[in-house]
Amino acid sequence: MNWNEQILLWNQAAVRVMDIRHRVLTGGEKVDAYVLPASVFLFASRGKPCVNLAGEPPHMMCCYHVLHGGKGSQLEIVPAAEGFSYYLIYYKGLFPFPLGHTLQQLAEDVQPFQTTYHMVPKEPFSLYDSIRRMDGLWRQGKGPDPLEVKSLFYKFVHEVLRQQSASGEDNNSPDLAASIINYFHEHYAEPIALEDLAKLLNCSVSYMSRVFKLQVGTSPNDYLIQVRMAQAKDRLVSSEWSLQKIALSVGYSDVYYFSRLFKKQTGLSPVQFRKKAVQHNPSKSSTFSIVQDSFSPYTENENHYYEKGEIEAAMYRGEKTPVAVVMLLCLTLLLSACQAGGNQVNPTNNPSSSQSPATQTGADSPDGNKAETRTFKHLHGETVIPKQPKRIVTAFHLGQLMALGVKPLGSSTYILQNPVLDTKGMEDLGVPLNLEKITQLEPDLIILIDAYVEMSGGYEAFSKIAPTIVIEPYYDPVKDIALMGDILGKEEEAAAWTEAFKKKVAEAKRQVNEVIAPDETFTIMSFFEKSPRVYRDENMGGNILYKYLGLKPQQKVLSDLINSGQKPPYSEVSAEVVPEFAGDNLFVAVNEGNKAAFESFKSTGLWSNLAAVKNNKVHTIDYDLFLQSDPIAVTKQIEILTNMLTEKSK
């Protein structure tokens, strides 16, 4: 489907929201086929149903998926065993003004209000917020505000089209870290609990936190504090608000706790920070009060905040007044059409196939010669980049660059902590990325992933420093190397690396097959205080054991994880069922954070009765090393696992 055509036609449209419904089905219920009385958006908020619409093949939906259908289509919903919760927005769309001949022909061909399509949003929170607010307004006893409902509907449609236009036909799963970041930036003034956030994302708190830290380099909790403190700094400098009002506006009901946290983050109290800002800009000079007259005194409950954690503590719990933001749909959709770019990710091992053809132009290089450039399509549009960049800054793809012999000028804090990379001499750019440091490095190319963009100032801030591209990590060394080879103009080096890697895998597989029986099974686990984890075939060595070396996963690992279609790379299980997942060979990932929990489990009868324990086929691996997915780390992991298996069998 051509999403730019959809945008163009919606830009000419007028709509009326006819009805909004929220329904929860139990596992035994189903919605018998019925004819839709109007065009509809269906938004799944929980469950995995089978949805039949307009006689097309059944759509297997998951949480946050969106389905669109036209008036007169037949809709049938069959929920899975766990039930299904969903929203329906019925609307009528039309073109209120005569269209030109070309647009009229396009409207007849595309039929934007009748077309059936299914999408997996990359940023589901913005859609979910609009849906829930529309539903809340619709349920009001005095009748909904039609203008506010319509503005939220336009916002919803705009987000659907924007995200689809940006990602093309690629319906990969949502970017978890980017979704969390967007949610924090939109809701920092509200109470936010990690448990509720994880529930919205349909995953566990531990998985959400691990993925966020893997991409961003800090915990969700610490990142939320940074967002709130940044907003507080802006209000301290740009307004004459009291400190109590500022604290409330960024999510803290206790001004003294806010002040202590602010000083911990910045080294200055809010009053000192404001005075310093006034000294640098005397025009801002004024008198400020720390609290309003109605402020209630501090109590000893402040200490409770440190016990419960930042996200669940000191939150403003009063009702927030709804704010109707009237969407200028024409402007926003036109801007979306201009700014949206294709997604460079594709399922093949040749990422360059989804890039636009290189357009070579001349640009002055530092030595006075003309440097060749090309146009590269990425998540934020199309950017002219050097054909062979020399001074690169990257937020995430450090190992991928170094595998091709390129040493970046700097990277994010967390990525620089990769235990197998020599990062000496590279600039630590922090988290969020420090734009001033990046500017001083004078890069000719900045490579980012979406999770770092908004938190560090937005795409435009980076693009003013140097050509900037935003790509998605594959977490697959062959695909990542092919993509980096294309970006760096090192296609031959990338091909040579891939050939050498395949030979290494083949040799490792040969060695392992000589000592491992074909019917031996394998399981990868880690043990934490809350619960053990069982890993599938994505990381923590699962990709190597099961995909590269072709070893046999334990049957329950295969059925419940690998073949289940689930996205998280592991499942948390209760200690009692660990024996059900344990294979003939057991790999346990350990670091300082979970070492005590592992030692505790080893003292139980559940552990001592495992066949792998009795047969001395337990291997411990470095959790921090095997968490990495870059080509250099994966190569090292292959060597470690091969040596473990072959040495153990001697």
Closest by CA to 222, choosing from 416, 432, 429, 449, is 432
Residue of 401 and 264 predicted with greater confidence? 401
The three state secondary structure string of 8-29 is HHHCCCEEEEEEEEEEEECCCC
User: Which of the two residues, 284 and 546, has the higher pLDDT score?
Assistant: 546
The distance from CA 314 to its chain's CA centroid, rounded to whole angstroms, is 27
Rounded to whole angstroms, the Cα distance separating 369 from 373 reads: 13
- Provide DSSP, 365-407: -TTSSEEEEEEEEETTEEEEEESS-SSEEESS-HHHHHTTT--
Asked whether residue 359 carries a pLDDT value surpassing 70, the answer given is no
Q: Count Cβ neighbours within 10 Å for each residue of 276-299 and write b for 16 or more, e otherwise.
A: ebbeeeeeeeeebeeeeeebeeee
Distance of CA 419 to the CA centre of its chain: 24
Sign of the CA dihedral 171, 172, 174, 177? negative
Count of Cβ atoms closer than 10 Å to residue 45 Cβ: 19
Q: Give the β-pairing of 532-535 and 570-572.
A: antiparallel
Arithmetic mean of pLDDT, 567-590 = 89
Predicted confidence (pLDDT) at residue 10 exceeds the cutoff of 60: yes
pLDDT (0 to 100) of residue 465:
93
User: 3-state class of 7 per DSSP?
Assistant: helix
Over the range 481-520, which residues count as b (16 or more CB within 10 Å of their CB) and which as e?
bbbbbbbbbbeebbeebbeebeeebeebbeebeeebeeee
Lowest mean pLDDT among 25-39, 300-314, 344-358, 516-530: 300-314
Residue 55 confidence (pLDDT): 62
Place of tokens 């007259």: 293
Closest C-alpha to 403, from 214, 77, 636:
636
* Beta-bridge partners for 410: 393, 427
**Ranges 31-35, 304-308, 585-589: which has the least confidence:** 304-308
Could you read off the pLDDT of 56-103 as tens digits, one per residue? 667 677 777 899 989 988 888 877 666 788 899 999 999 888 888 888
Check residue 181 and give its pLDDT.
Answer: 82
The pLDDT value recorded for residue 554 is 93
The three-state secondary structure class of 437 is helix
> In the numeric block, which tokens belong to residue 184?
């924090």
Q: What angle do CA 412, 624, 504 make, to 5 degrees?
A: 100
- What does the alpha-carbon distance between residue 353 and residue 343 come to, in Å, rounded to a whole number? 11
Residue in the block written with tokens 């399981």: 523
pLDDT in tens, 224-262: 898 899 889 888 888 888 888 898 889 887 777 788 888
Distance of CA 396 to the CA centre of its chain: 13
Domains delineated in the chain: 3-174 (2.60.120.10), 190-308 (1.10.10.60), 344-489 (3.40.50.1980), 497-648 (3.40.50.1980)
Question: Which residues face 203 on adjacent strands?
Answer: none
Cis peptide upstream of residue 432 (ω within 30 degrees of 0): yes
Query: What CA–CA distance (Å, rounded) separates 591 from 372?
Result: 47
3-state secondary structure of 343: coil
Q: Report the pLDDT value the prediction gives residue 302, as an integer from 0 to 100.
A: 32
**Please, what is the average pLDDT of the chain?**
80
What is the distance between the alpha carbons of residues 483 and 494, in angstroms, rounded to a whole number?
9
Q: Where are the beta strands (DSSP E) in 128-244?
A: none
Q: Which residue has the higher pLDDT, 601 or 312?
A: 601
Q: Give the span between the Cα atoms of 188 and 180, in whole angstroms.
A: 11
- Dihedral of CA atoms 394, 399, 400, 405 in degrees, nearest 10, equals 100
- Under DSSP, the state recorded for 554 is P
Structure-token match 């336009």, residue found: 154
**Residue among 275, 176, 273, 172 nearest 223 (CA):** 176
Where does the pLDDT of residue 52 fall: very low under 50, low under 70, confident under 90, or very high at 90 and above?
A: confident
pLDDT at residue 476 tops 80: yes
- Sequence-separated (6 or more) residues with CB below 8 Å from residue 248: 189, 316
Q: Is residue 13 within 8 Å of 93, Cβ to Cβ?
A: yes
pLDDT band at 54 (very low <50, low <70, confident <90, very high): low
329 pLDDT band (50/70/90 cuts)? very low
Compute the distance between CA of residue 9 and CA of residue 7 in angstroms, rounded to an integer.
5
Higher per-residue pLDDT: 462 or 127: 462
By the 10 Å C-beta count (0-12 exposed, 13-18 middle, 19+ buried), 158 is classed as buried
- Percent of the residues in the chain that have a pLDDT greater than 90, as a whole number: 33
**Axis-axis angle for helices 3-10, 329-339 (nearest 10):** 160
What burial letters (b/e) apply to 311-344, b meaning 16+ CB within 10 Å? bbbbbbeeeeeeeeeebebeebbeebbeebbbbb
| 152, containing H or E segment | helix 146-167
What was the pLDDT predicted at 479? 92
Tokens at 322, concatenated: 């709804």
